[in-house]
Amino acid sequence: MFHPRRTLRTLLLPLTAGLALIALPALPAQTAHAASTLTNGGFESDGTGTATPAGWSTYSAAGQNSASFTESGGHGGSYRLTHWSSSAYKVETYQYLSGLTHGTYKLTAWVRSGGGQNAAYIALKNCGSSEQRTDIPVSAGGWVRIVTSVAVTTNQCTISVTSDANAGNWINIDDLTFSPGSTGLSVKGSDVSSLAKSEAKGGVYKNSSGTTGDALAILKSAGQNYARLKVWVNPADGYNTKTRVLAIAKRVKAQGMKLLVDFHYSDTWADPGAQSKPSAWAGHSYSQLKTDVYNHTYDVLNALKAQGTTADMVQVGNEINGGMLWNEGSTDNWPQLAGLLNSGYDAVKAVNSGTTVALHLAKGGDLSGTRWWFDNAVAGGVRFDAIGLSYYGYWHGTLSDFQTTLDDAASRYGKPVFLAETAYPFRLDSDDAHQNIIDTAGELVPGYPASTAGQTQWMKDVASIVEAVPNGRGLGVFYWESTWTAVTGNGWDPADPSSGNGWENQALFGYDDRALPAMAWFSHR
């Protein structure tokens, strides 16, 4: 429904020949519209059917300038810029700025895309430093905001929107702004909770060229700077305990990474559908449970501190949409849930006041549910430093839904936010006898195939959405679960050694144990 109208194409066709005769050079020269501020960033100056909007230039080596044009249906105003053609095309719409003061500048754009392009991105180039790009995510319905930033060292910069597209591919661009500022992500992490057991059961990890090595070292060399480790109280398999976490934490810190400790307050998986008390706490009163939470949290974190691997961030609970430690800590009883959460917060701060305390919900595209939960938490006096949301595109809404929820959480509660969990398959078939959780094409996010390229693009695009959170409140992303490959004995059920893994097609190591191209997202700004 967002394809350019056929009538508009008819109007544009007579323009094509003339535009081809005045094709502009790839590297913009001084032009009449060069200015020190962005002109016509909302494409409102010319109405529809304008191939070269006021203030902008268009370039196509193949004379396909008409693939870039304005049309009705803006993000903010009445009009937008569109790239589209009925045949394959390459086109760039750009604006050259001069007279800029040296410094770092940020470009913001609202975008939509039907996907399928060889490349589609916004860029800042010819600014004196390396060109900076951000790919345009696939979002056929809702608009999403993306950003990129660059250091200007030559008093000039070119703002560029580029498509290298196949027939029928389209993008919409609107409401570009260019101003002093910088972008980037401080957290580029993954959950490696499965690693110790994998290695004990014979799991092997290789770099992209096939050389066997330490999985953490491979992840670090790709750019990972944070690791997430879950803690269970007394799991059946003896992994993800305090002792095991202490051992892996040493390795994480030895790689120079920071550490997020994720307390489940259970002997097994805790998520929106299950928040079972540890067997050791069964039958405890609410008052006792508050003490249990404090003592367990303090014990693990103090032991980490004592060995020189202090936690940098802590999750008090895992995907606690319905509360934790059911039934006492259910959201049916907010005063008790608040007491349990604050007990965890107090324990974290008693060990190290500088450790960030995060509260973590699933359903990252659920605006109303996220507001309901945190409004209740704030009203109940729950203390926290950051908000983490899980967002899996095949379950939790569109990229636009996720951005809306993330932005709202950051502004409504005045806290930094991060993507606590996300993942994407690089193939659909299974590497063991256990059925994969995502194993059919119909379960995928439109525009993101189950391929190494699709997995890579997904990671880049969700990182771009976190990076675009206003006021620098987007901390970063944790991938889940980068090292959980198919290894016999390392299945999903800690009580069943024969259980399989339904997630190995979403790891960051392939079925040949090699590092996958998606690790490139760790190098995101």
Q: What is the pLDDT of residue 191?
A: 98
Structure letter (DSSP) for residue 470: G
Q: What is the pLDDT of residue 52?
A: 87
Q: CA 15, CA 205: separation in Å to the nearest integer? A: 56
Indicate if the pLDDT at residue 84 is higher than 60: yes
- The mean pLDDT of 348-371, rounded to a whole number, is 98
Tokens of 176: 């570009």
Tokens of 316: 């008090």
> Who has greater pLDDT, 323 or 3?
323
Indicate if the pLDDT at residue 506 is higher than 50: yes
Among 363, 369, 364, 345, smallest CA distance to 355 is for: 345
- The mean pLDDT of 30-46, rounded to a whole number, is 80
Q: What is the pLDDT of residue 33?
A: 54
Q: What is the pLDDT of residue 25?
A: 43
Confidence of residue 9 (pLDDT cuts 50, 70, 90): very low
Supply φ then ψ for residue 203, to 5 degrees.
-65, 140
Tokens of 63: 């004379």
- Residues above pLDDT 70, as percent of the chain: 94
Q: CA 170, CA 168: separation in Å to the nearest integer? A: 6
- Look up 319 and say whether it is catalytic: yes
- The mean pLDDT of 192-209, rounded to a whole number, is 98
Q: Are 403 and 75 contacting, i.e. CB atoms less than 8 angstroms apart? A: no
Residues in the chain: 525
Indicate if the pLDDT at residue 359 is higher than 90: yes
Per-residue pLDDT tens digits for 375-413: 999 999 999 999 999 999 999 999 999 999 999 999 999
Convert 328-375 into a string of H (helix), E (strand) and C (coil): CCECCCHHHHHHHHHHHHHHHHHHCCCCEEEEEECCCCCHHHHHHHHH
CA dihedral of 343, 347, 352, 353, whole degrees rounded to 10? 20
Confidence of residue 269 (pLDDT cuts 50, 70, 90): very high
Distances (CA, A) of 442 to 113, 426, 445, 447: 20, 15, 8, 12
Q: What residue type is assigned to position 461 of the chain?
A: D
Candidates 44, 92, 319, 504; catalytic one: 319
Q: What is the pLDDT of residue 454?
A: 98
- Look up 421 and say whether it is catalytic: yes
Per-residue pLDDT tens digits for 270-311: 999 999 999 999 999 999 999 999 999 999 999 999 999 999
Among 481, 504, 445, smallest CA distance to 137 is for: 445
Per-residue pLDDT tens digits for 236-257: 999 999 999 999 999 999 999 9
Per-residue pLDDT tens digits for 305-318: 999 999 999 999 99
Indicate if the pLDDT at residue 372 is higher than 50: yes
Q: How many CB atoms lie within 10 A of CB 22?
A: 10
Candidates 328, 421, 467, 504; catalytic one: 421
- The mean pLDDT of 423-435, rounded to a whole number, is 97
Give Cα 129 to chain centroid, integer Å: 26
Q: Mean pLDDT, the chain, as a whole number? A: 93
Confidence of residue 493 (pLDDT cuts 50, 70, 90): very high
Q: CA 173, CA 84: separation in Å to the nearest integer? A: 12
Indicate if the pLDDT at residue 215 is higher than 80: yes
Q: What is the pLDDT of residue 452?
A: 98
- The mean pLDDT of 146-161, rounded to a whole number, is 98
